[in-house]
Amino acid sequence: KQEVTQIPAALSVPEGENLVLNCSFTDSAIYNLQWFRQDPGKGLTSLLLIQSSQREQTSGRLNASLDKSSGRSTLYIAASQPGDSATYLCAVSSGGSYIPTFGRGTSLIVHP
Amino acid sequence: GAVVSQHPSWVICKSGTSVKIECRSLDFQATTMFWYRQFPKQSLMLMATSNEGSKATYEQGVEKDKFLINHASLTLSTLTVTSAHPEDSSFYICSARDRGLDSTDTQYFGPGTRLTVL
């Protein structure tokens, strides 16, 4: 059974810092990995989707990497802004079922 | 990207009543939709897989008679919480599976429905 762990659980940083959020998974036979953002009381916003054949994806100030062999993914946020404050969820779809398993998220606060 | 909608976005009901939540894929057909539940400060937990034209597949521990799922068309799945109780209060999120022509398989998530049972 796939297990997804996100570290740290919470993070508070001053504006402008570069951040790294970590996601690890136990079963490396994945189909894809997706990073989401969730604002309080809201649904999920997809940030980046990495297929199993890819190593990384970039969108604006966000960069996500994938290392299947080590069971890890990182989400890099450059020049953080207060508007980046949210919970970031990592979800891994394992080969066969395509149903994602979610981590518990990293709660990020970027203060001015 | 593909869009999935949910209705209502929030609902408050009395204990003992039933509540129906709709999940729609707006610009693609989804043979499979998923229903998740999220408690405060927790991650999403899969409740059931909804397949168009067939019975839903429920995860262990989820009462199928309490959480009725109907996937009547390729763009609509409904979740009905029957005889709701305060412990059913939660955030319910659906997703729809889109199988792309390039063999990708992606889930698109709805905005969620906040259910509060008094």
Segment B43-88, tens digit of pLDDT: 899 999 998 888 899 999 999 999 999 988 889 999 999 999 999 9
A105/B6 CB distance under 8 A: no
Alpha carbon distance B83, B74 (integer Å): 27
Task: Read off the pLDDT band of B104 (50, 70, 90).
Answer: low
Establish whether the linkage from the previous residue to A14 is cis, with ω within 30° of 0. no
Which tokens is A66 given?
Answer: 């994938």
Q: Which of B34, B43, B97 sits opposite A105 (nearest CB)?
A: B43
Q: Which of B42, B104, B114 sits opposite A51 (nearest CB)?
A: B104
- Tell me if A68 sits within 8 A of A30, measured CB to CB: yes
Q: Which of B6, B93, B105 sits opposite A98 (nearest CB)?
A: B105
Binding-face residues of A in 70-89 toward B, CB within 8 A: 89
B106 CA to centre of own chain: 16
With residue A64 as reference, give the H or E element that holds it.
Answer: strand A62-67
* 8-state DSSP, A73: E
B50 CA to centre of own chain: 8
A43/B43 CB distance under 8 A: no
Higher pLDDT: B91 or B104? It is B91
- Calculated CA dihedral for residues B14, B86, B91, B7, nearest 10 degrees: -20
A105/B97 CB distance under 8 A: no
Tell which of B109, B113, B114, B116 to mutate to test the A interface (max A CBs under 10 Å): B109
